[in-house]
Amino acid sequence: MSRLGQHAENHLVDRIGWMRAAVLGANDGIVSTASLIVGVAAAAANQNDVLIAGVAGLVAGAMAMAAGEYVSVSSQSDTEQADLARERKELKKNPGLELDELAEIYVKRGVDKATARKVARQLMAKDALGAHARDELGISEITTARPVQAALTSAASFSVGAAMPLLMVVVSPAGALVPLVSAASLGFLAVLGAIGARAGGANILRATVRVTFWGALAMALTAGIGKLFGTVI
């Protein structure tokens, strides 16, 4: 199969997409594991129990991320392949109708009829499926989706994120576990938010505040729940 868009900017977009996925995975790992740790610790569990809960959270989260990413990438790819197969068949069966259809799309975008037909004809002469995929189906690039690679990347970045608060549990003195894990995790989140914003060209301060706010909220909630259950049971 021929690749459709081979512009230089696609590589930049690819890289940002990949980086963003990795940053998001690590972000999830920090927030969910730190919240879990803080919640269990607030319920007055000992350091060993907290560590076991944290490790279990890391494994469960990494598996959930991998499974989710695998399913999402595979189904997206299946849908695109099915759309392309249908389009290929239509192009073979009804090339005239497909030319009208493509020209009509350009007319709707503001091109006059004669020019639209000319553009459609020339584009279809070069790569009919490519032109229809891009302008009719909105598939800008026929990517060879790799669900296994996406799954492994997500699981790995989640694990790296989750390992940070877990490490804090190991080095923290018993009495200071909750404040130390919370503060360090918010610090990790802020750094990660800044990296993500930089990679995506977004406002660094806003991204950092946003990500630490949600992290703090998650930890406060689980700490409250942990405390509640710790005193009730």
Residues 181-210 within binding reach of Zn ion (CB under 5 A): none
Contact region with Zn ion (CB under 5 A), list: 14-22, 92-100, 104-112, 181-189: 92-100
Q: Least separation, in Å, of the C-beta of 98 and Zn ion? A: 5
141 scored as a contact of Zn ion (CB under 5 A): no
Q: What are phi and psi of 7, to 5 degrees?
A: -80, 155
- Decide whether 123 or 181 has the Cβ nearer to Zn ion: 123
104 scored as a contact of Zn ion (CB under 5 A): no
Of 84, 90, 86, 119, the residue nearest 105 (C-alpha): 119
DSSP 71: H
28 scored as a contact of Zn ion (CB under 5 A): no
Helices (H), 94-146: 95-108, 113-132
List CB contacts of 109: < 8 A, sequence separation 6 or more.
none
Contact region with Zn ion (CB under 5 A), list: 29-37, 126-134, 167-175, 179-187: 126-134
Q: Least separation, in Å, of the C-beta of 122 and Zn ion? A: 16
Of 173, 166, 232, 127, the residue nearest 33 (C-alpha): 166
135 scored as a contact of Zn ion (CB under 5 A): no
Q: Least separation, in Å, of the C-beta of 100 and Zn ion? A: 10
- Decide whether 69 or 87 has the Cβ nearer to Zn ion: 87
Contact 30, 216 (CB under 8 A): no
Distance CA 227, CA 43 (A): 5
Distance CA 201, CA 195 (A): 10
**Per rule CB under 5 A, count of chain residues that contact Zn ion:** 3
Q: Which residue has the tokens 């319920």?
A: 43
132 scored as a contact of Zn ion (CB under 5 A): yes
117 scored as a contact of Zn ion (CB under 5 A): no
Q: Least separation, in Å, of the C-beta of 90 and Zn ion? A: 6
Q: Which of 98, 129, 193, 223 binds Zn ion (CB under 5 A)?
A: 98
Tokens describing residue 54: 């944290």
Query: 8: buried, middle or exposed (CB in 10 Å: 19+, 13-18, 0-12)?
Result: exposed
Contact region with Zn ion (CB under 5 A), list: 38-46, 131-139, 148-156, 180-188: 131-139
Q: Least separation, in Å, of the C-beta of 140 and Zn ion? A: 15
Of 186, 165, 169, the residue nearest 50 (C-alpha): 169
Which spans of this chain sit near Zn ion (rule: CB under 5 A)?
98, 132, 136
